[in-house]
Structure 1
Amino acid sequence: MTQTLIAVDYTADNAKQAFVESLRETGFGVLKNHPIQQSAVADIYSTWQRYFNEGDKHDYEYNKDTQDGFFPSSVSEVAKGFKQKDIKEYFHYYPWGQCPEALRPQLQSYYDNATSLAAELLSWVESESPTSVSQHYREPLSTMIKDSQQTLLRVLHYPPLQGNEEPDAIRAAAHEDINLLTILPAANEPGLQVKGKDGNWLDVPCDFGNLIVNIGDMLQEASGGYFPSTTHRVINPEGSDQSRSRISLPLFLHPRPEVVLSDRHTAKSYLQERLRELGVI
């Protein structure tokens, strides 16, 4: 039977159960009628499209130690197991980090709203976890991110394809996220795919207004593998769509560094291990 991803109505009586079941079965949950305002997302997309096109982005070059600021395509991530860099550039926003002051209020407002919703979704995941799984959570999932300075909002720009890209390079090669959950409003262009249990790639519903949520490695670690971290990618557009940019706005939910995920890892030790694998530290 072919797996499909169906958007869950956030306001429905069974939203919690349906959402967590989707996460468990596919690693992804898609929400509609959620509290994040579509207009706020659209405004960020248009503002940051201008910034990436003509802004003084190189004035905010990233800090290697703190990982905040602008990451040009020359230092883009190489997915684990791949040789080519992803075709993308991005800006890492933390409330404490560098950011053009004119753009900070817009991002901070979205950061606060999305983090608040994310805490609720983590509480859904915990309440729907079997006792055999939840008894191993060292603290409630939603409080793992409380007062965390590590939760990251990334403004991603996939530039138009020029035709001279490296062979086999794509916008985002198949990878898993490091964090607990990733919260992602549908991008302004399609391309996001998730790998199903049968090994086939599924298109993630990209209707503008949907909110896409996926499991990261830290939740897989904390749940003893019950919630699987999901392999996903962003494929290159074809035909005339190659001339179009793609903006994406993932919020990566990170616990405080001292949070114990398992007998093997704290959040800090796990993050450092993965950043070294990615070659960004």
Structure 2
Amino acid sequence: MLVQTVDYCANDAPARLIASLRETGFAVLVRHPLPVWLIDGIYRDWLAFFDGEAKADYRFCPEKQDGWFPPSVSETARGRSVRDLKEFYHVYPWGRIPAGLRRDALAYHGTATALAAELLGWIEDALPAEVAAGLSEPLSGMIKASPNTLLRVLRYPPLAGDEPPGALRAAEHEDINLITLLPAASAPGLEVRDRQGRWHAVPCASGALVINVGDMLQEATAGWLPSTPHRVVNPVGAEAAQSRISLPLFLHPRSEVVLSARHTAGSYLDERLRELGVRN
């Protein structure tokens, strides 16, 4: 499985990104404009937050979906019976954010959202005429003034050895949104499944930015771009005693955007959140 590494500054970057997304649903972007120092600081500061007690004051709102999701209510991937081994915080510009973490989180949310919009524009420009004609509106229009783009700060706690049988840090799943931007996590573990069912590790070098297609984009393009299963496997040895932090940005359309004859973005998101067990 060849997930291409694409130089953001190269003249052929858009074409190579689209080729990798078309083939695998994933690409790795390097020399991108997201500041590594900001990402590293967010990892450090949010790890301290997850290790503290103040997070209990920010327990998530089931309707708004902002705030801290403890391990006891973590997601259960579709088709699985045990929850993922993780906790996470949902950052929206309009939502609750701890005061000491707010500035950097919102700075990153804005910068990453702008890059995600640019990459979505690359995709929009590459769509075949028949695919573009099937959209309810251009991809760039779907995200204008959207309040739904989500920055998730994820913490996978150290493994204690008493985890439920079969539990993974993140079981096999696809993302819900249009595209995801994921800077290199604090430790390896991300794997992508190819069309033959084999799993492949995704590079985790500092400065790498993983881009992947979500289910909403697959739905809107009638499968022209594939949303590919991926997972985060449990570490072994000394790494099992360490937390893992990651920072996906999920680019979402406005809720009323029509994705297909079956779904608006709002109805699709609601259906998936219920499947994941984080909305009643």
TM-score by length of 1: 0.98
1:270 to 258, 268, 271: 268
* C-alpha distance in 2 between matches for 1:112 and 1:60: 22
1:25-46 residue CA offsets vs partner (Å, 9 max, x unmatched): 0100110000001111001000
Aligned to 1:193: 191
Aligned to 1:61: 59
Aligned to 1:119: 117
Unaligned runs of 5+ in 2: none
* C-alpha distance in 2 between matches for 1:249 and 1:21: 25
1:190-246 residue CA offsets vs partner (Å, 9 max, x unmatched): 000010122111111111111101111100000001111110000000111101110
* C-alpha distance in 2 between matches for 1:53 and 1:242: 16
2:207 to 206, 209, 224: 209
RMSD over equivalenced CA pairs, Å: 0.8
Tell me if 1:182 matches 2:180: yes
CA deviation after TM superposition for structure 1 residue 55, in Å? 4.6
The SS at the match of 2:231 is strand
CA deviation after TM superposition for structure 1 residue 128, in Å? 1.2
Alignment of 1:151-166 (within 5 A): 151-166=149-164
* C-alpha distance in 2 between matches for 1:38 and 1:143: 29
Comparing 154-163 with 131-140, greater Cα deviation is found at 131-140
2:12 to 11, 14, 22: 14
Aligned to 2:234: 236
1:57-95 residue CA offsets vs partner (Å, 9 max, x unmatched): 001000011110000000000000000100000000111
* C-alpha distance in 2 between matches for 1:208 and 1:4: 20
Displacement over 4 Å in runs of 4+: none
TM-score by length of 2: 0.98
Aligned to 1:100: 98
Tell me the amino acid that sits aligned with residue 255 of structure 1. P
Aligned to 2:141: 143
CA deviation after TM superposition for structure 1 residue 5, in Å? 2.0
CA deviation after TM superposition for structure 1 residue 276, in Å? 1.4
The SS at the match of 1:233 is strand
Tell me the amino acid that sits aligned with residue 279 of structure 1. G
* C-alpha distance in 2 between matches for 1:142 and 1:45: 30
Tell me the amino acid that sits aligned with residue 230 of structure 1. T
Aligned to 2:258: 260
CA contact (8 A) 2:4 2:16 kept: no
CA deviation after TM superposition for structure 1 residue 263, in Å? 1.5
CA contact (8 A) 1:70 1:90 kept: yes
* C-alpha distance in 1 between matches for 2:47 and 2:278: 24
CA contact (8 A) 1:4 1:202 kept: no
Tell me the amino acid that sits aligned with residue 183 of structure 1. L
Aligned to 2:27: 29
CA contact (8 A) 2:155 2:246 kept: yes
Percent of pairs with identical residues: 56
The SS at the match of 1:194 is strand
The SS at the match of 2:68 is strand
Unaligned runs of 5+ in 1: none
1:151-195 residue CA offsets vs partner (Å, 9 max, x unmatched): 111000000000010111010000011110111101010000010
Tell me the amino acid that sits aligned with residue 256 of structure 1. R
The SS at the match of 1:102 is helix
CA contact (8 A) 2:4 2:17 kept: no
CA deviation after TM superposition for structure 1 residue 102, in Å? 1.6
Equivalent pairs counted in the alignment come to 279
CA deviation after TM superposition for structure 1 residue 141, in Å? 0.9
